[in-house]
Chain A
Amino acid sequence: MQEIIQKTINELNKILPRQKKIKNEDKFLLIDKKSKLDSVDIVNLFVILEKYLKKEKNLSISFDILLKDIDEFKTIGSLKSYLLKKIKK
């Protein structure tokens, strides 16, 4: 999972400006009032993440489900836990 998250961050960081670059740290804020990411960045995050989940784990999560569970993506750490749960299921 760590690898998928890292690949997603690397790819997303290629689009983000310097002040918005994501760090692979559990406390790093993704979807939060204090987060620097905007809606376009979040869409990109989900699209890239989805690509790697499909490629590496053969796991498909629809965008609707991701939107429904959006509260789980407050930080990188909570995103990791969410994905681990999904994979176990």
Chain B
Amino acid sequence: MKNNKVSINIISSFNHANLVGLLRNNNDFKWQINDSNFNQVFQILNDKKLNIWKKKSDISLIWTSPDSISSEFKKLLNHEKVNKNLIKKDIDFFFDCLKNVKKNSDIILIPNWILKEPNESSIALSFSKKFGIEYHLSYMNYYLSELISRETNFYLLNSNKWLTNCGSEASYNSKLWYLMKNPFSNEFYNEVILDIVSIFKTLRGFSKKILVLDLDNTLWGGIVGEVGWKNLRIGGHDYLGEAFKDFQCKIKALKNYGILLALCSKNNESTALEAIEKHPEMVLKIDDFILYKINWQDKAKNILDISKELNIGLQSFVFLDDTPYERANVKEKLPEVTVPNLPSDPLQYSVFLSKLRYFDTSFISDEDKKRAELYKSEFKRKKIRQSLKSHSQWLKTLKLTITIENAKNENLPRIHQLLNKTNQMNLSTRRLSEKELNSWKNKPSNKLWSIRAKDKFGDYGIIGIISISIKNRLAKLEDFILSCRVVGRDIEKVMIEFVKDYCLNSKIYNIKGKYLKTKKNSLLFECFNQLNLIEKNKHSFEIIPSDKKFDLSNIIVKKK
């Protein structure tokens, strides 16, 4: 990821030189920073001829203070009475200016408004409708968030969180303000950078998918094999027990928005399972875990097995364990797995987990919410597969139904998620913002379809995408994406046949494609090679729509 280039425009109403400096030294990405003069926000947003707008950037950070946007709000700082409608008009004007540049960046980040210095005066008047600074600031932020929610690529960043994390005193630096018109400290900017990196990773599909957890002194206090399940510290009138229970609640919340949970613990399986099942204060139940590896084997091996069983790449794993040795061992043997250093004090676990940004998301799809169930049905399918002699017999038993439909607007967030999150079964690994994807889809020469699958064990939801671009009666396969959990059940053949049919019906007799190799998409190459679509050591390929069809007699295909 360190080699990925990210271009960012920084526009602000104050001197942001230190933010630029810190960002330039940040190692998460190779930053290409397009700086601009400070305190010229409106001029910059309204002049599209400026250099900053000449090339489309990945991110534009537009950071203003409330008094720089609204002269009416400025009156409040002098305890003058204000007209809320005039503040609203000022925000409308600012928002109109923001919209001017929405096409010039994939993502527009706008920190919500906070003051340039701590506001300690007139506590009693803070939320007064006539004079209250906090009242009007809250109103401004609420109104701005309403406007911003109308735009697909605008994101409001939470500046108040940066203040909380840094502490009010450490966030501001009055010396820097008076000497160079920079209100904030470098500690504060470090918080800002963490969020910029995090939101960019989230939107580009770098979020983690699975959290693997240890048990003893991680999910509960004590070693179950030594003290027995009745003496474990979870919940109850015990400060440490409460901390473990809160930690479990936070983990359960992650599961509820689609993060998979797994256990990896050195214990006797029956002892640990008894504790999970019988301890009345356990928040996490055994059903919350997609898999568990409770044994005395090396934890790195167990995690590798989980990765293979679930067909999820190690780069999507986060491992939490209280023992430094176990963390170091996994870090060394499986460097792709993210292994944060859990604090030595369990009282800090819950806050620590809240601050981890690995699981951030910008959208929760129906598929996310039921991800654990989807994987569980998958285990049932695999069980049947083991009992049957042939692959085709298995497919027949599954009663697999594939529905292919034109990408609909309501499905675009899920399609965008698949486009940006799928690594292994991905032809070109092109990453687009939702806005870019939508404008690509709307061009008449481009076609984008979503693939749904269901079988007798349940609905998989949207699990794939195909797209082509057409020029001079020649089709180019742009995207061929399939969720890795459904690979190997002939859906890839259905997708190929669908494109062939579409092209034949449109009197297109040649489909070209190019496999763009990444570190993670060799699965797609192997699959295309097995289907005789691509030769070994070659990247370009051709599909002739009139060629012999694949046998799809075991699958029901619906086209909408």
Contact = CB atoms under 8 A, between A and B. Distances in A.
Interface of A: 11, 13-17, 40, 43-44, 47, 50, 63
A63 to B, nearest CB: 7
A65 B25 CA distance: 31
Interface of B: 15, 17-18, 21-22, 24-25, 173, 175-176, 179-180, 186
B207 to A, nearest CB: 27
A47 B25 contact: no
A47 B178 CA distance: 11
B176 A15 contact: no
B175 A40 contact: no
Given A14-B25, A50-B175, 16 more contacts: A14-B22, A14-B186, A15-B17, A15-B18, A15-B21, A15-B25, A15-B186, A17-B21, A40-B15, A40-B17, A40-B180, A43-B176, A43-B180, A47-B175, A47-B176, A63-B175
Contacts of A13: 25
Nearest to B18: A15
Closest 9 CB pairs of A and B: A15-B21, A43-B179, A47-B175, A40-B17, A43-B180, A15-B18, A14-B25, A17-B24, A15-B22
13 contacts: A14-B21, A15-B17, A15-B18, A16-B21, A16-B25, A40-B15, A40-B180, A43-B176, A43-B180, A44-B18, A44-B176, A47-B175, A47-B179
Secondary structure class of chain A's binding surface, majority of residues:
helix
Nearest to B173: A47
A15 B190 CA distance: 11
A67 B173 CA distance: 19
Nearest to A13: B25
A63 B179 contact: yes
B176 A11 contact: no
A67 B332 CA distance: 51
A84 B528 CA distance: 72
B25 to A, nearest CB: 6
Contacts of A43: 176, 179-180
Contacts of A16: 21, 25
A11 B176 CA distance: 15
Contacts of A17: 21, 24-25
